[in-house]
Amino acid sequence: MSVKKVAVSMSINGQEYEGLVEPRKLLVDFIREDAALTGTHIGCEHGVCGACTVLMDGETIRSCLTFAIQAQGKQLWTVEGLAENGKLSPLQNAFWENHGLQCGFCTPGILMAALELLRDNPSPSDREIREGISGNLCRCTGYKNIVKSIAAAAEKYQAGEKEPVVAKVWGASG
């Protein structure tokens, strides 16, 4: 079956990207290949590991279960959108300071999930953090320092530190 390619365009981290893709091209592949943003990873390709988690129109989605053409005209945010002017964001600093990653493969997906979790619940309990990231699998850390890092990020936000991407994704009120 020979299928014609389709033009697609979307905003990723505030920048416009265009491509010519087969309908079956997965969004995660468009992000990694057409947009050359390889921070988003592919772990399982069937929606269970969370490594491909990105924000689309303000909500986390599995980009391996979404076709690129479904993101036509949408606003996407990936891990590359967190740091600003070469500076790590409070969330990223929290992970660095609390040893929240080892190999780093799951980390981008976990950071995107953490952004949504902390937006919905600015001071989550340990249990709530664990439930909030339960859709992301990590093979290295045993999750303990991930949970610690997210709790630390919540404290940074409470102390007034701003996560630059939040205003960009969800507006000034954050």
Partner 1 sequence: MKPAQFEYLAPATVDEAVALLNQYAEDDGKILAGGQSLVPLMNFRLARPKWLIDINGIEALDYIREDGDWLAIGAITRERDIERSALIADKCPLLQEVTRWIGHVTIRNRGTVGGCIAHNDPTAEYPLAAMLLGAEITARGPSGARTIPIDEFLVTYLTTALEPNELLTEVRFPVMESTTGWAFQEFARRHGDFAIVEAGALLQMDNGTVREARIAIGGAGPVAFRATEAEAVLRGEKLTDELIAEAGEKAGGMTEPESDVHASAEYRTHLAKVLTRRALKEAQARVR
Which residues would be at the binding site for partner 1 (CB under 8 A)? Answer: 1-3, 6, 22-24, 26, 29, 45-47, 50, 53, 59-62, 64-67, 69-70, 113, 116-117, 131-132, 134-135
Q: For residues 65 and 83, which CB has a smaller minimum distance to partner 1 in the complex?
A: 65
Place of tokens 């530190």: 161
Residue 48 vs 103, nearer CB to partner 1: 48
Shortest gap between Cβ of 161 and partner 1 (angstroms)?
24
Kindly tell me which of 46 and 87 has the beta carbon lying closer to partner 1. Answer: 46
Can you tell me the distance from the alpha carbon of 100 to that of 113, in angstroms, rounded to the nearest whole number?
14
Minimal distance in Å, beta carbon 72 to partner 1?
9
Q: Least separation, in Å, of the C-beta of 128 and partner 1? A: 11
The CA-to-CA distance between both ends of the chain, in Å, stands at 46
* Cβ-based nearer residue to partner 1, 22 or 84: 22
Q: How far is the CB of 85 from partner 1 (least distance, A)?
A: 29
Residue-wise burial string across 47-83, b where 16 or more C-beta atoms lie within 10 A, e elsewhere: eebbbbbbbbeeebbbbbebbbbebeebbbbbbbbbe
Residue 103 tokens, joined: 């190999």
CA 149, CA 155: separation in Å to the nearest integer? 10
